[in-house]
Chains A and B, each alone.
Chain A
Protein backbone atom coordinates (compact mmCIF):
# COMPACT_ATOMS: atom_id res chain seq x y z
CA UNK A 1 0.00 0.00 0.00
CA UNK A 2 2.84 2.29 0.91
CA UNK A 3 4.65 1.66 -2.36
CA UNK A 4 1.56 2.25 -4.32
CA UNK A 5 1.03 5.39 -2.46
CA UNK A 6 4.61 6.60 -2.94
CA UNK A 7 4.83 5.75 -6.61
CA UNK A 8 1.54 6.91 -8.04
CA UNK A 9 1.16 7.11 -11.76
CA UNK A 10 0.50 10.52 -13.36
CA UNK A 11 -2.99 9.29 -14.15
CA UNK A 12 -3.53 8.45 -10.52
CA UNK A 13 -2.37 11.91 -9.38
CA UNK A 14 -4.60 13.54 -11.95
CA UNK A 15 -7.50 11.41 -10.76
CA UNK A 16 -6.88 12.44 -7.14
CA UNK A 17 -6.70 16.10 -8.11
CA UNK A 18 -9.91 15.77 -10.08
CA UNK A 19 -11.58 14.11 -7.12
CA UNK A 20 -10.48 16.96 -4.85
CA UNK A 21 -11.80 19.55 -7.24
CA UNK A 22 -15.07 17.67 -7.53
CA UNK A 23 -15.42 17.48 -3.77
CA UNK A 24 -14.81 21.22 -3.34
CA UNK A 25 -17.18 22.02 -6.15
CA UNK A 26 -19.58 19.52 -4.67
CA UNK A 27 -19.61 21.36 -1.41
CA UNK A 28 -19.85 24.77 -3.01
CA UNK A 29 -22.55 23.82 -5.47
CA UNK A 30 -25.31 22.94 -3.01
CA UNK A 31 -24.51 26.03 -0.99
CA UNK A 32 -24.50 28.14 -4.09
CA UNK A 33 -27.76 26.53 -5.13
CA UNK A 34 -29.35 27.47 -1.81
CA UNK A 35 -27.94 30.97 -1.61
CA UNK A 36 -27.48 32.61 -4.94
CA UNK A 37 -29.31 35.86 -4.39
CA UNK A 38 -30.42 38.26 -1.76
CA UNK A 39 -34.12 39.12 -1.82
CA UNK A 40 -35.00 42.79 -1.44
CA UNK A 41 -38.67 43.27 -0.58
CA UNK A 42 -40.42 46.60 -0.82
CA UNK A 43 -44.13 46.21 -0.33
CA UNK A 44 -45.40 43.77 -2.93
CA UNK A 45 -42.26 43.99 -5.03
CA UNK A 46 -39.51 41.44 -4.46
CA UNK A 47 -36.27 41.97 -6.24
CA UNK A 48 -33.39 39.48 -6.30
CA UNK A 49 -29.89 40.88 -6.08
CA UNK A 50 -27.43 38.31 -7.33
CA UNK A 51 -24.64 37.53 -4.87
CA UNK A 52 -22.15 38.04 -7.69
CA UNK A 53 -23.51 41.57 -8.14
CA UNK A 54 -23.40 42.13 -4.43
CA UNK A 55 -19.77 41.04 -4.32
CA UNK A 56 -18.99 43.28 -7.27
CA UNK A 57 -20.48 46.19 -5.34
CA UNK A 58 -18.34 45.40 -2.30
CA UNK A 59 -15.87 48.21 -2.67
CA UNK A 60 -14.81 48.61 0.96
CA UNK A 61 -12.14 46.54 2.63
CA UNK A 62 -11.33 46.90 6.29
CA UNK A 63 -10.05 44.86 9.16
CA UNK A 64 -12.28 44.38 12.17
CA UNK A 65 -12.18 42.28 15.31
CA UNK A 66 -14.86 39.63 14.88
CA UNK A 67 -15.96 38.48 18.34
CA UNK A 68 -17.40 35.25 16.90
CA UNK A 69 -14.06 34.28 15.39
CA UNK A 70 -12.03 35.84 18.19
CA UNK A 71 -9.57 37.53 15.85
CA UNK A 72 -9.06 40.44 13.48
CA UNK A 73 -10.59 39.64 10.11
CA UNK A 74 -10.18 41.43 6.81
CA UNK A 75 -13.70 42.03 5.49
CA UNK A 76 -14.99 43.17 2.12
CA UNK A 77 -18.39 44.74 1.80
CA UNK A 78 -20.43 47.81 1.01
CA UNK A 79 -21.86 50.61 3.09
CA UNK A 80 -25.29 49.36 4.12
CA UNK A 81 -26.85 52.83 4.25
CA UNK A 82 -25.79 53.50 0.67
CA UNK A 83 -27.08 50.08 -0.37
CA UNK A 84 -30.48 50.81 1.21
CA UNK A 85 -30.73 54.15 -0.57
CA UNK A 86 -29.91 52.45 -3.86
CA UNK A 87 -32.51 49.77 -3.29
CA UNK A 88 -35.32 51.72 -1.63
CA UNK A 89 -34.63 55.33 -2.59
CA UNK A 90 -34.08 56.23 1.05
CA UNK A 91 -33.28 54.52 4.31
CA UNK A 92 -36.49 52.85 5.54
CA UNK A 93 -37.46 53.48 9.16
CA UNK A 94 -37.28 49.75 9.87
CA UNK A 95 -36.06 46.61 8.15
CA UNK A 96 -37.29 43.07 8.49
CA UNK A 97 -34.57 40.48 7.98
CA UNK A 98 -34.92 36.77 7.33
CA UNK A 99 -31.91 34.49 7.50
CA UNK A 100 -31.06 31.06 6.18
CA UNK A 101 -31.07 29.72 9.74
CA UNK A 102 -34.75 30.74 10.11
CA UNK A 103 -33.90 33.79 12.17
CA UNK A 104 -36.26 36.71 11.66
CA UNK A 105 -36.05 40.15 13.17
CA UNK A 106 -37.24 43.71 12.57
CA UNK A 107 -34.81 46.44 13.54
CA UNK A 108 -34.76 50.24 13.28
CA UNK A 109 -32.06 52.86 13.07
CA UNK A 110 -30.24 51.98 9.90
CA UNK A 111 -29.52 55.55 8.87
CA UNK A 112 -26.08 55.00 10.32
CA UNK A 113 -22.91 55.00 8.21
CA UNK A 114 -21.08 52.55 10.46
CA UNK A 115 -23.06 49.49 9.25
CA UNK A 116 -21.60 47.41 6.41
CA UNK A 117 -23.02 44.51 4.41
CA UNK A 118 -20.15 42.03 4.21
CA UNK A 119 -19.86 39.56 1.33
CA UNK A 120 -16.29 38.27 1.70
CA UNK A 121 -13.69 37.60 4.35
CA UNK A 122 -9.94 37.31 3.85
CA UNK A 123 -10.62 37.40 0.10
CA UNK A 124 -13.07 34.45 0.15
CA UNK A 125 -16.77 34.88 -0.57
CA UNK A 126 -18.95 34.23 2.46
CA UNK A 127 -20.88 30.98 2.43
CA UNK A 128 -23.50 29.67 4.81
CA UNK A 129 -20.72 27.86 6.64
CA UNK A 130 -18.96 31.19 7.19
CA UNK A 131 -22.23 32.82 8.20
CA UNK A 132 -22.90 34.29 4.77
CA UNK A 133 -23.71 34.81 2.03
CA UNK A 134 -24.23 38.29 3.42
CA UNK A 135 -23.70 39.54 6.92
CA UNK A 136 -24.15 42.88 8.68
CA UNK A 137 -21.35 44.23 10.84
CA UNK A 138 -20.90 47.51 12.63
CA UNK A 139 -17.56 48.85 11.58
CA UNK A 140 -17.02 51.09 14.60
CA UNK A 141 -18.54 49.52 17.67
CA UNK A 142 -15.91 50.61 20.18
CA UNK A 143 -18.07 53.49 21.40
CA UNK A 144 -21.08 51.27 22.11
CA UNK A 145 -19.65 49.70 25.27
CA UNK A 146 -20.05 46.23 23.76
CA UNK A 147 -18.19 43.43 25.43
CA UNK A 148 -16.46 41.27 22.81
CA UNK A 149 -16.61 38.37 25.26
CA UNK A 150 -20.40 38.66 25.46
CA UNK A 151 -21.70 37.54 22.07
CA UNK A 152 -25.24 38.61 22.98
CA UNK A 153 -24.00 42.19 22.60
CA UNK A 154 -23.62 41.42 18.89
CA UNK A 155 -27.06 40.00 18.17
CA UNK A 156 -27.68 42.79 15.69
CA UNK A 157 -24.79 41.53 13.53
CA UNK A 158 -27.26 39.63 11.42
CA UNK A 159 -25.88 36.54 9.68
CA UNK A 160 -26.82 34.43 6.71
CA UNK A 161 -29.11 37.13 5.39
CA UNK A 162 -31.66 35.75 2.96
CA UNK A 163 -33.98 38.72 2.52
CA UNK A 164 -34.34 42.33 3.55
CA UNK A 165 -37.79 43.85 3.66
CA UNK A 166 -38.46 47.57 4.07
CA UNK A 167 -40.99 48.43 6.76
CA UNK A 168 -42.33 51.94 6.20
Chain B
Protein backbone atom coordinates (compact mmCIF):
# COMPACT_ATOMS: atom_id res chain seq x y z
CA UNK B 1 0.00 0.00 0.00
CA UNK B 2 2.94 2.34 0.27
CA UNK B 3 4.00 2.11 -3.30
CA UNK B 4 3.81 5.43 -5.07
CA UNK B 5 2.37 5.85 -8.49
CA UNK B 6 5.00 6.03 -11.15
CA UNK B 7 4.65 8.05 -14.28
CA UNK B 8 3.49 5.77 -17.02
CA UNK B 9 5.47 5.73 -20.23
CA UNK B 10 3.20 6.67 -23.10
CA UNK B 11 3.50 4.34 -26.07
CA UNK B 12 5.58 6.02 -28.69
CA UNK B 13 3.87 5.74 -32.09
CA UNK B 14 5.29 8.82 -33.75
CA UNK B 15 8.08 7.42 -35.99
CA UNK B 16 5.80 4.73 -37.41
CA UNK B 17 2.99 7.18 -37.88
CA UNK B 18 5.30 9.55 -39.71
CA UNK B 19 6.60 6.80 -41.94
CA UNK B 20 3.06 5.73 -42.72
CA UNK B 21 2.00 9.29 -43.37
CA UNK B 22 4.93 9.69 -45.74
CA UNK B 23 3.76 6.63 -47.63
CA UNK B 24 0.21 7.99 -47.97
CA UNK B 25 1.58 11.24 -49.33
CA UNK B 26 3.62 9.25 -51.84
CA UNK B 27 0.64 7.28 -53.12
CA UNK B 28 -1.49 10.39 -53.23
CA UNK B 29 1.26 12.31 -55.01
CA UNK B 30 1.72 9.53 -57.55
CA UNK B 31 -1.99 9.45 -58.19
CA UNK B 32 -2.26 13.21 -58.61
CA UNK B 33 0.89 13.23 -60.76
CA UNK B 34 -0.64 10.58 -62.99
CA UNK B 35 -3.76 12.64 -63.60
CA UNK B 36 -1.61 15.73 -64.09
CA UNK B 37 0.52 13.84 -66.61
CA UNK B 38 -2.67 12.83 -68.40
CA UNK B 39 -3.71 16.45 -68.69
CA UNK B 40 -0.25 17.52 -69.86
CA UNK B 41 -0.26 14.77 -72.48
CA UNK B 42 -3.65 15.81 -73.81
CA UNK B 43 -2.70 19.48 -73.92
CA UNK B 44 0.57 18.63 -75.65
CA UNK B 45 -1.15 16.49 -78.25
CA UNK B 46 -3.81 19.08 -78.94
CA UNK B 47 -1.14 21.76 -79.27
CA UNK B 48 0.80 19.53 -81.64
CA UNK B 49 -2.18 18.73 -83.84
CA UNK B 50 -3.68 22.22 -84.05
CA UNK B 51 -0.75 24.03 -85.74
CA UNK B 52 -0.42 21.17 -88.24
CA UNK B 53 -4.08 21.34 -89.15
CA UNK B 54 -3.81 25.10 -89.38
CA UNK B 55 -0.82 24.80 -91.71
CA UNK B 56 -2.78 22.62 -94.12
CA UNK B 57 -6.30 23.96 -93.93
CA UNK B 58 -6.35 27.47 -92.46
CA UNK B 59 -6.19 29.19 -95.85
CA UNK B 60 -8.59 26.90 -97.61
CA UNK B 61 -11.21 28.92 -99.47
CA UNK B 62 -9.32 32.20 -99.78
CA UNK B 63 -6.96 33.51 -102.40
CA UNK B 64 -3.78 32.72 -100.48
CA UNK B 65 -5.03 29.17 -100.13
CA UNK B 66 -4.68 28.78 -103.89
CA UNK B 67 -1.39 27.83 -105.44
CA UNK B 68 0.54 30.60 -107.19
CA UNK B 69 0.67 28.40 -110.29
CA UNK B 70 -3.13 28.15 -110.25
CA UNK B 71 -3.53 31.89 -110.02
CA UNK B 72 -0.95 32.41 -112.78
CA UNK B 73 -2.74 29.90 -115.02
CA UNK B 74 -6.06 31.65 -114.46
CA UNK B 75 -4.49 34.97 -115.48
CA UNK B 76 -3.11 33.38 -118.64
CA UNK B 77 -6.50 31.91 -119.46
CA UNK B 78 -8.02 35.34 -118.81
CA UNK B 79 -5.45 36.76 -121.25
CA UNK B 80 -6.56 34.22 -123.84
CA UNK B 81 -10.17 35.22 -123.26
CA UNK B 82 -9.27 38.89 -123.66
CA UNK B 83 -7.44 38.17 -126.91
CA UNK B 84 -10.32 36.14 -128.29
CA UNK B 85 -12.98 38.57 -127.03
CA UNK B 86 -15.00 41.09 -128.96
CA UNK B 87 -13.40 44.22 -127.61
CA UNK B 88 -11.20 46.57 -129.59
CA UNK B 89 -7.75 45.29 -130.47
CA UNK B 90 -5.91 47.94 -128.48
CA UNK B 91 -7.95 47.28 -125.33
CA UNK B 92 -7.70 43.53 -125.80
CA UNK B 93 -3.92 43.66 -126.14
CA UNK B 94 -3.54 45.96 -123.11
CA UNK B 95 -5.77 43.74 -120.97
CA UNK B 96 -3.98 40.59 -122.13
CA UNK B 97 -0.60 42.17 -121.49
CA UNK B 98 -1.61 43.07 -117.90
CA UNK B 99 -2.83 39.52 -117.31
CA UNK B 100 0.40 38.11 -118.69
CA UNK B 101 2.43 40.44 -116.47
CA UNK B 102 0.44 39.35 -113.44
CA UNK B 103 0.85 35.70 -114.39
CA UNK B 104 4.58 36.22 -114.83
CA UNK B 105 4.83 37.80 -111.37
CA UNK B 106 3.00 34.85 -109.80
CA UNK B 107 4.86 32.17 -111.75
CA UNK B 108 8.34 33.63 -111.36
CA UNK B 109 9.09 31.69 -108.21
CA UNK B 110 12.44 30.31 -107.22
CA UNK B 111 10.84 27.06 -106.13
CA UNK B 112 9.16 26.59 -109.53
CA UNK B 113 12.36 27.33 -111.41
CA UNK B 114 14.21 24.87 -109.20
CA UNK B 115 11.68 22.03 -109.20
CA UNK B 116 10.13 22.14 -112.70
CA UNK B 117 12.08 22.04 -115.95
CA UNK B 118 9.28 23.71 -117.93
CA UNK B 119 9.22 26.80 -115.70
CA UNK B 120 12.23 28.57 -117.24
CA UNK B 121 11.07 28.06 -120.82
CA UNK B 122 7.51 29.09 -119.97
CA UNK B 123 8.70 32.30 -118.35
CA UNK B 124 10.88 32.93 -121.39
CA UNK B 125 7.81 32.37 -123.64
CA UNK B 126 5.80 34.83 -121.59
CA UNK B 127 8.65 37.31 -121.75
CA UNK B 128 8.84 36.97 -125.52
CA UNK B 129 5.08 37.21 -125.94
CA UNK B 130 4.99 40.31 -123.78
CA UNK B 131 7.55 42.00 -126.01
CA UNK B 132 5.61 41.05 -129.14
CA UNK B 133 2.31 42.23 -127.71
CA UNK B 134 3.87 45.50 -126.61
CA UNK B 135 5.33 45.99 -130.08
CA UNK B 136 1.97 44.98 -131.57
CA UNK B 137 3.72 42.68 -134.05
CA UNK B 138 1.74 39.52 -133.25
CA UNK B 139 -1.81 38.71 -134.12
CA UNK B 140 -4.30 37.68 -131.48
CA UNK B 141 -4.59 34.02 -132.45
CA UNK B 142 -0.83 33.53 -132.51
CA UNK B 143 -0.64 35.12 -129.06
CA UNK B 144 -3.37 32.82 -127.82
CA UNK B 145 -1.56 29.77 -129.13
CA UNK B 146 1.73 30.95 -127.59
CA UNK B 147 0.05 30.86 -124.18
CA UNK B 148 -0.80 27.15 -124.37
CA UNK B 149 2.69 25.94 -123.47
CA UNK B 150 2.97 28.13 -120.33
CA UNK B 151 -0.57 27.13 -119.32
CA UNK B 152 0.34 23.47 -119.77
CA UNK B 153 3.44 23.97 -117.65
CA UNK B 154 1.51 25.76 -114.93
CA UNK B 155 -1.11 23.02 -114.97
CA UNK B 156 1.64 20.44 -114.56
CA UNK B 157 3.04 22.42 -111.62
CA UNK B 158 -0.44 22.65 -110.13
CA UNK B 159 -1.04 18.93 -110.42
CA UNK B 160 2.33 18.08 -108.99
CA UNK B 161 1.88 20.54 -106.13
CA UNK B 162 -1.55 19.07 -105.47
CA UNK B 163 -0.04 15.60 -105.42
CA UNK B 164 2.63 16.76 -103.00
CA UNK B 165 0.03 18.47 -100.88
CA UNK B 166 -2.07 15.32 -100.91
CA UNK B 167 0.96 13.24 -99.92
CA UNK B 168 1.77 15.69 -97.13
CA UNK B 169 -1.82 15.53 -95.90
CA UNK B 170 -1.71 11.72 -96.03
CA UNK B 171 1.52 11.75 -94.04
CA UNK B 172 -0.03 14.13 -91.59
CA UNK B 173 -3.14 12.00 -91.39
CA UNK B 174 -1.07 8.88 -90.74
CA UNK B 175 1.02 10.71 -88.20
CA UNK B 176 -2.13 12.00 -86.52
CA UNK B 177 -3.58 8.50 -86.46
CA UNK B 178 -0.41 7.17 -84.80
CA UNK B 179 -0.40 10.02 -82.34
CA UNK B 180 -4.04 9.39 -81.65
CA UNK B 181 -3.29 5.75 -80.89
CA UNK B 182 -0.38 6.70 -78.66
CA UNK B 183 -2.58 9.26 -76.96
CA UNK B 184 -5.40 6.76 -76.44
CA UNK B 185 -3.22 3.99 -75.05
CA UNK B 186 -0.99 6.22 -72.98
CA UNK B 187 -4.01 8.09 -71.61
CA UNK B 188 -5.63 4.81 -70.71
CA UNK B 189 -2.43 3.56 -69.08
CA UNK B 190 -1.88 6.76 -67.14
CA UNK B 191 -5.53 6.86 -66.12
CA UNK B 192 -5.38 3.27 -64.86
CA UNK B 193 -2.12 4.04 -63.06
CA UNK B 194 -3.78 7.06 -61.48
CA UNK B 195 -6.70 4.87 -60.34
CA UNK B 196 -4.34 2.21 -58.97
CA UNK B 197 -2.34 4.80 -57.07
CA UNK B 198 -5.57 6.30 -55.79
CA UNK B 199 -6.78 2.86 -54.69
CA UNK B 200 -3.45 2.26 -52.91
CA UNK B 201 -3.83 5.63 -51.26
CA UNK B 202 -7.35 4.77 -50.12
CA UNK B 203 -6.19 1.38 -48.86
CA UNK B 204 -3.40 2.98 -46.91
CA UNK B 205 -5.85 5.46 -45.45
CA UNK B 206 -8.13 2.63 -44.32
CA UNK B 207 -5.17 0.81 -42.82
CA UNK B 208 -4.12 3.97 -41.05
CA UNK B 209 -7.61 4.43 -39.64
CA UNK B 210 -7.67 0.84 -38.50
CA UNK B 211 -4.22 1.14 -36.96
CA UNK B 212 -5.23 4.34 -35.19
CA UNK B 213 -8.38 2.67 -33.91
CA UNK B 214 -6.39 -0.34 -32.74
CA UNK B 215 -3.84 1.91 -31.06
CA UNK B 216 -6.61 3.80 -29.36
CA UNK B 217 -8.26 0.60 -28.17
CA UNK B 218 -4.92 -0.76 -27.04
CA UNK B 219 -4.23 2.41 -25.10
CA UNK B 220 -7.69 2.20 -23.55
CA UNK B 221 -7.06 -1.41 -22.56
CA UNK B 222 -3.71 -0.41 -21.13
CA UNK B 223 -5.54 2.02 -18.88
CA UNK B 224 -8.18 -0.49 -17.75
CA UNK B 225 -8.26 -3.32 -15.26
CA UNK B 226 -9.33 -6.38 -17.20
CA UNK B 227 -11.08 -8.08 -14.28
CA UNK B 228 -13.35 -5.31 -13.05
CA UNK B 229 -13.41 -3.08 -16.12
CA UNK B 230 -12.46 -0.01 -14.11
CA UNK B 231 -9.29 2.06 -14.56
CA UNK B 232 -5.88 1.00 -13.36
CA UNK B 233 -3.03 2.87 -11.70
CA UNK B 234 -1.94 4.49 -14.98
CA UNK B 235 -5.45 5.74 -15.59
CA UNK B 236 -5.55 7.25 -12.11
CA UNK B 237 -2.32 9.11 -12.76
CA UNK B 238 -3.53 10.32 -16.10
CA UNK B 239 -6.91 11.49 -14.73
CA UNK B 240 -5.22 13.43 -11.92
CA UNK B 241 -3.02 15.17 -14.48
CA UNK B 242 -6.08 15.93 -16.58
CA UNK B 243 -7.72 17.73 -13.64
CA UNK B 244 -4.87 20.04 -12.74
CA UNK B 245 -5.58 22.74 -10.12
CA UNK B 246 -8.93 21.22 -9.16
CA UNK B 247 -9.62 20.23 -5.56
CA UNK B 248 -9.99 16.45 -5.55
CA UNK B 249 -10.59 13.73 -3.04
CA UNK B 250 -8.67 10.48 -3.16
CA UNK B 251 -10.13 7.46 -1.40
CA UNK B 252 -8.10 4.26 -1.07
CA UNK B 253 -10.06 1.09 -0.32
CA UNK B 254 -8.55 -2.18 0.87
CA UNK B 255 -10.54 -5.39 1.38
CA UNK B 256 -9.96 -6.81 4.81
CA UNK B 257 -8.76 -10.41 4.99
CA UNK B 258 -9.08 -10.92 1.27
CA UNK B 259 -6.46 -13.65 1.27
CA UNK B 260 -8.54 -15.63 3.76
CA UNK B 261 -11.59 -15.08 1.53
CA UNK B 262 -9.74 -16.45 -1.45
CA UNK B 263 -8.46 -19.38 0.53
CA UNK B 264 -11.93 -20.19 1.75
CA UNK B 265 -13.99 -19.53 -1.32
CA UNK B 266 -11.48 -19.92 -4.10
CA UNK B 267 -9.97 -17.37 -6.43
CA UNK B 268 -12.90 -17.30 -8.89
CA UNK B 269 -15.20 -16.32 -6.06
CA UNK B 270 -12.56 -13.79 -4.95
CA UNK B 271 -12.66 -12.31 -8.47
CA UNK B 272 -16.44 -12.14 -8.25
CA UNK B 273 -16.18 -10.30 -4.97
CA UNK B 274 -13.77 -7.81 -6.56
CA UNK B 275 -16.26 -7.14 -9.37
CA UNK B 276 -19.13 -6.82 -6.90
CA UNK B 277 -17.17 -4.39 -4.77
CA UNK B 278 -16.20 -2.33 -7.83
CA UNK B 279 -19.88 -2.09 -8.71
CA UNK B 280 -20.83 -1.23 -5.16
CA UNK B 281 -18.23 1.51 -4.81
CA UNK B 282 -19.26 2.91 -8.19
CA UNK B 283 -22.93 2.97 -7.19
CA UNK B 284 -22.26 4.39 -3.75
CA UNK B 285 -19.89 7.11 -4.91
CA UNK B 286 -21.77 8.12 -8.03
CA UNK B 287 -19.54 11.04 -8.91
CA UNK B 288 -16.29 9.12 -8.42
CA UNK B 289 -14.04 7.48 -10.95
CA UNK B 290 -12.80 4.11 -9.81
CA UNK B 291 -9.47 2.40 -10.21
CA UNK B 292 -8.05 -0.93 -9.16
CA UNK B 293 -4.50 -0.39 -7.96
CA UNK B 294 -3.52 -3.90 -7.00
CA UNK B 295 -4.91 -7.25 -5.83
CA UNK B 296 -7.47 -6.06 -3.32
CA UNK B 297 -6.87 -2.31 -3.41
CA UNK B 298 -9.21 0.21 -5.07
CA UNK B 299 -9.01 3.95 -5.41
CA UNK B 300 -11.74 6.49 -6.03
CA UNK B 301 -11.12 9.97 -7.36
CA UNK B 302 -13.83 12.60 -7.03
CA UNK B 303 -14.40 16.31 -6.89
CA UNK B 304 -14.13 17.32 -3.29
CA UNK B 305 -14.30 20.95 -2.18
CA UNK B 306 -13.41 20.17 1.45
CA UNK B 307 -12.53 17.42 3.91
CA UNK B 308 -16.08 17.30 5.27
CA UNK B 309 -17.36 16.23 1.86
CA UNK B 310 -14.67 13.59 1.66
CA UNK B 311 -15.66 12.25 5.05
CA UNK B 312 -19.28 12.07 3.92
CA UNK B 313 -18.21 10.02 0.88
CA UNK B 314 -16.25 7.62 3.11
CA UNK B 315 -19.20 7.24 5.42
CA UNK B 316 -21.50 6.71 2.46
CA UNK B 317 -19.23 3.97 1.22
CA UNK B 318 -19.15 2.13 4.52
CA UNK B 319 -22.93 2.36 4.78
CA UNK B 320 -23.35 0.99 1.32
CA UNK B 321 -21.12 -1.95 2.14
CA UNK B 322 -23.04 -2.73 5.25
CA UNK B 323 -26.27 -2.68 3.33
CA UNK B 324 -24.81 -4.98 0.67
CA UNK B 325 -23.70 -7.39 3.36
CA UNK B 326 -21.36 -9.54 1.31
CA UNK B 327 -20.63 -12.77 3.23
CA UNK B 328 -17.05 -13.59 4.25
CA UNK B 329 -16.90 -17.21 5.52
CA UNK B 330 -13.31 -16.82 6.77
CA UNK B 331 -13.49 -13.42 8.46
CA UNK B 332 -11.64 -13.69 11.78
CA UNK B 333 -14.24 -11.44 13.43
CA UNK B 334 -17.14 -13.38 11.95
CA UNK B 335 -18.27 -10.43 10.00
CA UNK B 336 -19.22 -10.07 6.35
CA UNK B 337 -16.83 -8.47 3.93
CA UNK B 338 -15.34 -5.36 5.51
CA UNK B 339 -13.21 -2.58 4.08
CA UNK B 340 -10.45 -0.36 5.35
CA UNK B 341 -10.72 3.10 3.81
CA UNK B 342 -8.31 6.04 3.86
CA UNK B 343 -8.75 9.39 2.19
CA UNK B 344 -7.14 12.73 1.53
CA UNK B 345 -8.03 15.98 -0.15
CA UNK B 346 -5.61 17.74 -2.49
CA UNK B 347 -5.26 20.24 -5.30
CA UNK B 348 -4.47 18.19 -8.39
CA UNK B 349 -0.97 18.60 -9.67
CA UNK B 350 1.83 16.32 -10.74
CA UNK B 351 3.80 17.30 -7.66
CA UNK B 352 0.97 17.11 -5.10
CA UNK B 353 -0.50 13.77 -6.12
CA UNK B 354 2.27 11.60 -4.61
CA UNK B 355 1.77 13.39 -1.29
CA UNK B 356 -1.98 12.97 -1.45
CA UNK B 357 -1.55 9.30 -2.25
CA UNK B 358 0.83 8.91 0.66
CA UNK B 359 -1.54 10.71 3.01
CA UNK B 360 -4.50 8.56 2.00
CA UNK B 361 -2.33 5.48 2.35
CA UNK B 362 -1.29 6.53 5.85
CA UNK B 363 -4.91 7.05 6.81
CA UNK B 364 -5.71 3.59 5.50
CA UNK B 365 -2.80 2.12 7.44
CA UNK B 366 -4.07 3.73 10.60
CA UNK B 367 -7.49 2.13 10.03
CA UNK B 368 -5.80 -1.23 9.62
CA UNK B 369 -3.76 -0.80 12.76
CA UNK B 370 -6.91 0.17 14.60
CA UNK B 371 -8.57 -3.14 13.71
CA UNK B 372 -9.82 -2.57 10.15
CA UNK B 373 -13.50 -2.12 9.06
CA UNK B 374 -13.43 1.62 9.22
CA UNK B 375 -12.37 4.81 7.51
CA UNK B 376 -10.12 7.73 8.19
CA UNK B 377 -9.26 10.95 6.34
CA UNK B 378 -6.01 12.87 6.60
CA UNK B 379 -6.96 16.45 7.32
CA UNK B 380 -3.88 18.29 6.09
CA UNK B 381 -2.70 16.48 2.99
Chain A proximity mask over B51-68: 1 for CB below 8 Å, otherwise 0: 000010001000110001
Say yes or no: A23 contacts B110, CB within 8 Å: no
B135 touches A22 (CB 8 A): yes
Residues of chain A within 8 A (CB-CB) of B108 are 129-130
CA distance A105 to B106 in the complex (A): 17
Q: A101-B106, A159-B105 are in contact. Are A128 and B111 (CB under 8 A)?
A: no
The interface-forming segment of B94-102, B264-272, B291-299, B326-334 is B94-102
Flag B76-119 by CB within 8 Å of A: 1 or 0 each: 00000000000000000010011001101110111101100000
Q: Please, how many angstroms separate the alpha-carbon atoms of A72 and B131 in the complex?
A: 28
Asked whether B63 lies within 8 Å of A128 as measured between CB atoms, the reply is: no
Q: Take A23-B131, A155-B64 as given contacts and tell me if A100 and B94 are in contact as well, using a CB distance cutoff of 8 Å.
A: no
A6 close to chain B: CB less than 8 A:
no
B106-142 vs A, Cβ < 8 Å mask (1 yes, 0 no): 1011110110000000000000001100111000000
- Tell me how far the C-beta of A160 lies from the nearest C-beta in chain B, rounded to whole angstroms: 7
Is B71 part of the contact surface with A, judged by Cβ < 8 Å? yes
Check if B98 sits within 8 Å of A128, measured CB to CB.
yes
**Cα separation A19 to B136 with both chains bound (whole Å):** 12
Contact of B105 among A19, A34, A101 (CB under 8 A): A101
- B110, A68: Cβ atoms closer than 8 Å: yes
State which of B59, B98, B106, B109 has its C-beta within 8 Å of the C-beta of A155: B59
Partner among B98, B111, B130 whose Cβ is within 8 Å of the Cβ of A70: B111
A27 lies within 8 A of B131 (CB): yes
Are B110 and A70 within 8 A (Cβ)? Answer: yes
Q: Is the CB of A129 within 8 A of B63?
A: no
C-alpha gap A118/B165 in the complex (Å)? 31
Contacts of A160 in B (CB 8 A): 102, 105
CA distance A86 to B97 in the complex (A): 34
A26 to B137, CA, bound (A): 11
Q: Which residues of A contact B102 (CB under 8 A)?
A: 100-101, 128, 160
Tell me which of A67, A102, A152 contacts B59 (CB under 8 A): A152
Task: Write out the residue numbers on chain A whose beta carbons fall within 8 Å of the beta carbon of B109.
Answer: 68, 151
Total interface residues in chain B, CB < 8 Å = 26
Q: Report yes or no: B131 in contact with A26, Cβ–Cβ below 8 A.
A: yes
Docked pose: A152 CA to B75 CA in angstroms: 21
Nearest residue, chain A, Cβ from B101: A128
Chain B, Cβ-Cβ closest to A101: B102
Instruction: Give A27 to B136 CA distance when docked, in angstroms.
Output: 11
Within 8 A of A (CB), among B197-214: none
In the complex with contacts A70-B110, A129-B108, A152-B55, A23-B64 CB distance below 8 A: no
Knowing A26-B131, A71-B110 are in contact, say whether A103-B101 is a contact too (CB < 8 A). Answer: no
**What is the CB-to-nearest-CB distance from B72 to chain A, in angstroms, rounded to a whole number?**
9
- Which B residue sits closest to A28, measured CB to CB? B134
Cβ–Cβ contact A151 & B111, under 8 A: yes
A33 interface contact, C-beta 8 A: yes
| Complex interface: chain A residues within 8 A of B97 (CB) | 27, 30-31
Closest CB in chain B relative to A84 CB, distance in Å:
23
* Contact residues in B for A22 (Cβ distance below 8 Å): 135
Contact string, A68-104, partner B, CB cutoff 8 A, digits 1/0? 1111000000000000000000000000000011111
Query: Is there contact, CB below 8 Å, between B71 and A23?
Result: no
Whole-angstrom distance between the Cβ of A99 and the nearest chain B Cβ: 9
Among B98, B101, B110, B135, point to the contact of A69 (Cβ < 8 A).
Answer: B110
Q: Given that A26-B135, A27-B130, A101-B106 are known contacts, is A129 also in contact with B101, CB under 8 Å in the complex?
A: yes
Q: Are A30 and B98 in contact (CB under 8 A)?
A: yes
Q: Is A139 an interface residue (CB 8 A)?
A: no
- A127 contacts B by Cβ under 8 Å: yes
Residues in chain B near residue A101, CB distance under 8 A: 71, 75, 102, 105-106
User: Which B residue's beta carbon lies closest to that of A132?
Assistant: B105
Interface flag for A56 (CB, 8 Å): no
The 23 sampled A-B contact pairs (Cβ below 8 Å) are A19-B135, A23-B135, A25-B134, A27-B134, A29-B134, A30-B94, A30-B101, A33-B94, A68-B110, A70-B110, A70-B114, A71-B110, A102-B63, A127-B101, A128-B102, A129-B104, A129-B108, A149-B111, A151-B68, A151-B109, A151-B111, A155-B59, A159-B105
Q: A27-B134, A31-B98, A149-B111 are in contact. List 10 more A-B contacts (CB 8 A).
A: A27-B97, A30-B134, A33-B94, A68-B109, A70-B113, A100-B102, A101-B102, A105-B64, A130-B105, A160-B102
- Counting from the closest, the 7 A-B pairs by CB-CB distance are A70-B110, A26-B134, A128-B101, A27-B134, A23-B131, A129-B104, A131-B105
